[in-house]
Amino acid sequence: MVSYPATTETLTLAQEANSREAISILYQVIEDPSSSPEAVRVKEQAITNLCDRLTEEKRGEDLRKLLTKLRPFFSLIPKAKTAKIVRGIIDAVAKIPGTTDLQITLCKEMVEWTRAEKRTFLRQRVEARLAALLMENKEYVEALALLSTLVKEVRRLDDKLLLVDIDLLESKLHFSLRNLPKAKAALTAARTAANAIYVPPAQQGTIDLQSGILHAEEKDYKTGYSYFFEAFESFNALGDPRAVFSLKYMLLCKIMVSQADDVAGIISSKAGLQYVGPDLDAMKAVADAHSKRSLKLFENALRDYKAQLEDDPIVHRHLSSLYDTLLEQNLCRLIEPFSRVEIAHIAELIGLPLDHVEKKLSQMILDKKFAGTLDQGAGCLIIFEDPKADAIYSATLDTIANMGKVVDSLYVRSAKIMS
């Protein structure tokens, strides 16, 4: 078997070889016992090339084994370079689809190793990555416990850049758990830490995106739109794929404030045309349905663009609210001419199942959207006239209140005279 030493010529040979041979050569370069400065430099380049080759072939398990095999080599190079290589391999595994569980296992192994080697800087960053993976895997309790410990440790060290990452991650985690006050508090902490240092544009865009999501959740869609716009500009300048999500949420905010007519203009703008695709088509379909107040078009959009609308938890939550509003508006318009009408007739007019319409009508009556009752025996909806407020009643109450004040005032005066 041919032996390949850690030299520049070997790296050139590996680049020219086919994938299988190149991987074999690169492994031999890494295993070369030489520890001269030139050999170390060549090995570092070989690790990078090998990672790229294994990622192309989607060999995630081999990348995990490679990281374990490299541990003796890490003692020969500076800690900063070790951190760069470790994070590079974890990023390489992340590029392979369906490897979330493998990434979690890999991060846990690296946390144990860094703890044993007392590499605090690297451990904290791997733990932050592990918390993000646990959150993505919906293991919220474990992620929250890990973050709670990590944030205290990082605050003591005053590592502002890592603190921004952790606070932002904590905000996303609390938002996933529907704990808005804590999500806002964590985001404020991230902003405070970010104001004290230079934050890369991608990180600033992430902060703006999270701010927009939280404002939209509180129904403050105008402020949410401005944050999504800031995030979109940051991601668009960097060519970050998250730009399309920022643009999608911008369109969502426009729809939610009943400015659906602006959606087509934003999509056809110079920036919008770069991201034309299923996500923007989905929002355009929803905007058209909203403009026409058509439930049928709305349901067609939800069915045709299920991946873009219902599978996106942020969009789905707001569209559920929009659907309910549209349904209530349509039902109120349909029942307006009647004092008594069959529920089946309303269901036929609106084109929805009978039990769905009956449930919604009962909810609207309880919410006092209109005055009426459901006669389930006859299958009818009975609508009452809106009760007119009696002006005499409120006027009488005001008179009695004023008389009470006069009596109190007279009592105070008489008490002064008697004293």
User: Percentage of residues in the chain with pLDDT exceeding 70?
Assistant: 96
The runs of H, that is alpha helices, within 57-78 are 60-69, 71-74
Cα–Cα distance between 95 and 249 in angstroms, integer?
Answer: 25
- Please give the share of the chain, as a percent, with pLDDT higher than 90: 24
The per-residue pLDDT of the chain, averaged, comes to 86
pLDDT for residue 5 is more than 70: no
Residue ranges of domains in the chain: 1-97
Calculate the dihedral angle through the C-alpha atoms of 11, 16, 20, 23, rounding to the nearest 10 degrees: 10
Confidence tier at 383 by pLDDT (50, 70, 90): confident
Residue among 210, 239, 212, 206 at smallest CA distance from 225: 212
- Comparing CA positions, the residue from 204, 229, 203 lying closest to residue 216 is 229
pTM for the predicted model, two decimal places:
0.76
Write down the pLDDT at residue 171.
93
**Which of 110-114, 139-143, 309-313 shows the lowest per-residue confidence on average (mean pLDDT)?**
309-313
> CA-to-CA distance for 255 and 319, rounded, in angstroms?
9
Match 């203009």 to its residue by tokens. Answer: 265
CA 230 to chain centre: 16
Q: Give dist(CA 69, CA 91) in Å, integer.
A: 17
- Is the separation of the CB atoms in 403 and 410 below 8 Å? no
Please report, as a single letter, which amino acid is at residue 85.
I
Average pLDDT over residues 126-138: 91
Query: Quick one: tokens of 282?
Result: 């989905």
Phi, psi for 372 (deg, rounded to 5) = 180, -175
pLDDT of residue 340: 85
Asked if the model's pLDDT at residue 390 lies above 80, the reply is: no
Q: How confident is the model at residue 352 (pLDDT cuts 50, 70, 90)?
A: confident
| SS3 of residue 98 by DSSP | coil
93 and 68 Cβ atoms separated by less than 8 Å? no
Whole-angstrom Cα Rg for the chain = 32
Q: Which of 279, 271, 280 is nearest to 233 (CA)?
A: 271
Average pLDDT, integer, range 250-264: 87
**Coil, strand, or helix at residue 220?**
coil
Q: Tell me the mean pLDDT in the region 220-239.
A: 92
| Contact indicator for 86, 122 with CB cutoff of 8 Å | yes
- In angstroms, the CA 50 to CA 56 distance is 10
Query: Which pLDDT belongs to residue 39?
Result: 80
pLDDT category at 170 given cuts 50, 70, 90 is: very high
**Is pLDDT of 230 > 90?**
yes
Q: What is the DSSP letter of 17?
A: S
Average the pLDDT over 297-316 and give the result.
Answer: 85
Higher pLDDT, 4 or 41: 41
For residue 1, the model assigns a pLDDT of 45
Residue 10 has pLDDT above 90, yes or no: no
Of the candidate ranges 208-217, 228-237, 273-282, the one whose mean pLDDT is the lowest: 273-282
pLDDT of 217 above 50: yes
Question: Residue 2: is its pLDDT beyond 60?
Answer: no
* Arithmetic mean of pLDDT, 41-65: 86
**Three-state secondary-structure class, residue 268:** coil
For the cut 90, the answer to whether the pLDDT of residue 355 exceeds it is no
pLDDT, position 206: 93
pLDDT at 255 exceeding the cut of 60: yes
pLDDT band (50, 70, 90) for residue 235: very high
Average pLDDT of the residues in 45-60:
85
pLDDT at 389 over 70: no
| Residue 381, beta-bridge partner list | 341, 374
Highest mean pLDDT among 131-140, 291-300, 349-358: 131-140
Output the pLDDT for position 18.
75
At 112 the pLDDT is 92
Residue 94, token pair as written in the block: 């992340």
